[in-house]
Amino acid sequence: MPQAIFLKNGRIIDPVNKVDKKGGLLIEKGRIKAIFTARQKPGPLPKNLLSIDLRGKWVVPGLIDMHVHLREPGEEHKETIASGTMAAAAGGFSAVACMPNTIPVNDSQSVTRLILEKAASAHARVYPVGAISKGLQGISLAEFGEMKKAGAVAVTDDGRPVMDSQLMRRALEYASNYKILIISHSEESSLTRNGAMNEGFISTSMGLKGIPHIAEEIMVYRDLALADYTGCRLHLAHISTRESVNLIRQAKKRGCPVTAETAPHYFTLTEESVKDYNTNAKMNPPLRTREDRAAIIAAIKDGTIDVIATDHAPHSVLEKDIEFDQAANGIIGLETAVPLAFALFRKGHINATRLVELLSCNPARILGIRGGSLGIGAEADITVIDPEQNFVLQEQDILSLSKNSPFIGSRLQGRAVLTLCGGKITHNLISP
Ligand SMILES: [Zn+2]
Ligand SMILES: [Zn+2]
């Protein structure tokens, strides 16, 4: 391993420090040693230097995916911490937050610790997210303080809603005492039961039971009301509908302490992808209408949505290669997030700064973790994106153990070509 790495001639984009300039970045002992503009001479460089020319490429703070299912412990045939973080690095992520619906559930310090032990040798930083309720049962609260002490950065019952409003209220209050983030999977489950896709004309014509958009919006409304009432901070996961973003926009205007994320599939695809019964278009919340997709893009543009997170949900063919209404929900997302988000830039919806905020700065700030900027002295978590590179996603190139992606065979543009985590190269498509 070289003593030092010099990333030169790239476009350095660091929204937190208000930087967007051509220049070079020197990394030594895993940290950012110096940043040079294109005109500055870097002076004497250290020996044993790996110099990488990044002409035409973007150099941005390491991307952070705050919504990932790593499946370990318990379902290692779908994904492991090792394989999931390898996929993360390949997709340009230097850090991920992993959801607690493993087997056993991460509802205690012992499971949180186990995840962190395994993550010590992983290809990206792993931030465990604990459960809100013990066993995700929705009955009694898990030990937030213990999990936080062990390293958890947030709590959620993701995969399931917290249906009991009093429990959710207590969770918000308890979490604010421990300064840990609550993430809501917003779903009114009595309205979604047995539903397989978005409810509407297409679900009716296909003979599939629908999930109405109000199932999400009712819970978004409830959780915003609880956040208002308690004054406690709330983060809403995978927002997918027009009325949800309207509610969040109003809530932010009145000062409600809320942040929100969406996933790339909600601003890329619509329910029309389900038409050929492709189970890789089945997720929860389901793909919505064109109007919903337009509203999600508008919310990304105006700041109503703070974060793009993948909801990376690996499933094996056993769970996906079956009848549509029986198939598991979710798709993998780590290796396609950058090009799908980059399409928002390419189509002129957002600028480069905003793209980096959505994928790095905001998740770092919301979770209260390191990263999200390129300050001198900071650990060198860095992603390099080639805005010109396009590629066809091939199943055999996917590093995730599961291949459940609706984007296999699609031509994608904008690719993470180099990822560094703590100064270590974890992904490299640029020949040195
Ligand atoms: Zn969820
Ligand atoms: Zn999820």
List the one residue out of 343, 422, 348 whose CA is nearest residue 385: 343
Which ligand is nearest to the Cα of residue 187, counting in written order?
Answer: 1
**What is the 69 CA–ligand 1 centroid distance (Å)?**
10
What are the pLDDT digits (tens) for 394-407?
A: 999 999 999 999 99
- pTM confidence score: 0.98
Residue numbers annotated as active site: 311
pLDDT score for 431: 72
**What is the 7 CA–ligand 2 centroid distance (Å)?**
35
Which ligand is nearest to the Cα of residue 157, counting in written order?
Answer: 1
Which ligand is nearest to the Cα of residue 67, counting in written order?
Answer: 2
Which ligand is nearest to the Cα of residue 185, counting in written order?
Answer: 1
pLDDT score for 155: 98
Which ligand is nearest to the Cα of residue 219, counting in written order?
Answer: 1
The total of other beta-carbon atoms located within 10 Å of residue 225's CB is 15
Which ligand is nearest to the Cα of residue 98, counting in written order?
Answer: 2
Q: Which residues contact 23 (CB under 8 A, 6 or more apart)?
A: 9, 10, 12, 35, 36, 37, 38, 40
Q: What is each CA distance from 158 to 98, 119, 143, 290, 389, in whole angstroms? A: 10, 21, 17, 26, 34
CA 189 to chain centroid: 23
**What is the 25 CA–ligand 2 centroid distance (Å)?**
35
**What is the 238 CA–ligand 2 centroid distance (Å)?**
8
Q: Supply 246's token pair.
A: 């309207």
Query: Which residues crowd ion ligand 1, with CB under 5 Å?
Result: 158, 185
Query: Is there a contact between 264 and 273 (Cβ–Cβ < 8 Å)?
Result: no
**What is the 157 CA–ligand 1 centroid distance (Å)?**
8
pLDDT score for 2: 65
DSSP characters over 278-326: -GGG--SSPP--HHHHHHHHHHHHHTSS-EE---B----HHHHSS-GGG
**What is the 140 CA–ligand 1 centroid distance (Å)?**
19
**What is the 413 CA–ligand 2 centroid distance (Å)?**
25
Query: Which residues crowd ion ligand 2, with CB under 5 Å?
Result: 158, 311
Orientation angle between helical segments 242-253 and 290-302, nearest 10 degrees? 30
Cα 2 from Cα 75, distance rounded (Å): 37
Cα 72 from Cα 80, distance rounded (Å): 5
Q: What is each CA distance from 166 to 138, 171, 221, 222, 251, in whole angstroms? A: 11, 8, 15, 11, 21
**What is the 330 CA–ligand 1 centroid distance (Å)?**
9
**What is the 311 CA–ligand 2 centroid distance (Å)?**
5
pLDDT score for 123: 98
Q: Supply 191's token pair.
A: 């309205």
Query: Is there a contact between 28 and 46 (Cβ–Cβ < 8 Å)?
Result: yes
Cα 153 from Cα 429, distance rounded (Å): 31
* Residue 238 falls in which region: left (phi positive, over 0), alpha (psi -120 to 50) or beta: left
Q: What is each CA distance from 23 to 30, 59, 74, 116, 424, in whole angstroms? A: 19, 9, 45, 36, 20
pLDDT score for 43: 78
**What is the 99 CA–ligand 2 centroid distance (Å)?**
7
Q: Which residues of the chain have pLDDT under 50?
A: none
pLDDT score for 40: 81
pLDDT score for 41: 77
Unique residue bearing structure tokens 């399931």: 160
pLDDT score for 1: 60
The total of other beta-carbon atoms located within 10 Å of residue 218's CB is 19
Three-state DSSP at 254 gives coil
Unique residue bearing structure tokens 């002992």: 29
Cα 8 from Cα 25, distance rounded (Å): 6
List the one residue out of 76, 77, 142 whose CA is nearest residue 112: 142
Q: Which residues contact 386 (CB under 8 A, 6 or more apart)?
A: 56, 57, 58, 414, 415, 417, 429
DSSP characters over 72-119: TTT-TTT--HHHHHHHHHHTTEEEEEE-S-SSS-S-SHHHHHHHHHHH
Q: Supply 229's token pair.
A: 């009432």
Q: Supply 112's token pair.
A: 């949180």
Orientation angle between helical segments 242-253 and 214-230, nearest 10 degrees? 10
